[in-house]
Structure 1
Amino acid sequence: MVKLRVKAFLEGLCQRMAADHPCDGEAAADPGTLGLPAGPADDSTHGLAPHALVVSHGAYMRLAVRYLVEDLKCIVPRGMKASHIFSACPNTGICRFVLTVHHTDAARLPPVAIHCVFINRKDHLKSLKEQP
């Protein structure tokens, strides 16, 4: 049931983004140039438009990640272990995915390409631990 909700949500999100951001001849980023690095939380998003922030509970995110990776064949960074990919997202954890969708096909999944930049990142919390 939850996987069906994830699928319906992603389809709706793609449709809304296509409707809100009509294609104006702007070239999409080449997924091969994304590099999938392990740097700051804004990795691989410079110059990509539009963006969507999705906030959810860790258990839902775990199932959403599994759906993206297993069902939609999302490309994950080399060397990332399955135990990390499918683990529960920590509190305030961040996952970043880049979905490439042809404007005319926004209503259907899977998108042309899905690339995972990172999963379950929590390094943004380090500075909080360092404060007195």
Structure 2
Amino acid sequence: MASVRVETIVAAEPAAVWAAIADVGAVHRRLLPGRVRDARIEGDVRILTMPDGTEVRELIVAVDHDGRRMAYSVQGPGRLTLAHHHAAFEVFDHDGGRARLVWTTDVLPHDRAAAVRARVERGLEEIRSTLESQPAA
């Protein structure tokens, strides 16, 4: 299994970053408001609607408030035709009241890792920018 790990420093309080990550039903408003048009929760499944109307189903595996870790798994092959996908966001304290946000994604087949890395890097930059543009709590 290929593993992609990308991280960034967010100029926002770690608690605020975690609150946005943990709000799994609001990814379209709090994390990726241009990339995701809507999100809804059905049991443990989050359904993301993309701007073109495509839906992505994600099983929410864990929301660990103490460890500030949220894990999910894309269900179905999706656009990259992955046989397996599991990802997690983790929020850590960083100096100066900032947060270190880490996004780790495990995928099969291995040869999809480069495409996944490109999407994760672009997505994490968008998330960082969105979080930094939100007013402090």
Confirm or deny a common fold (TM above 0.5). Answer: no
Quick check: which one's strand share is greater? Answer: 2
Task: Give TM-score scaled by structure 2 length.
Answer: 0.25
Quick check: which one's helix share is greater? Answer: 1
Task: Give TM-score scaled by structure 1 length.
Answer: 0.26
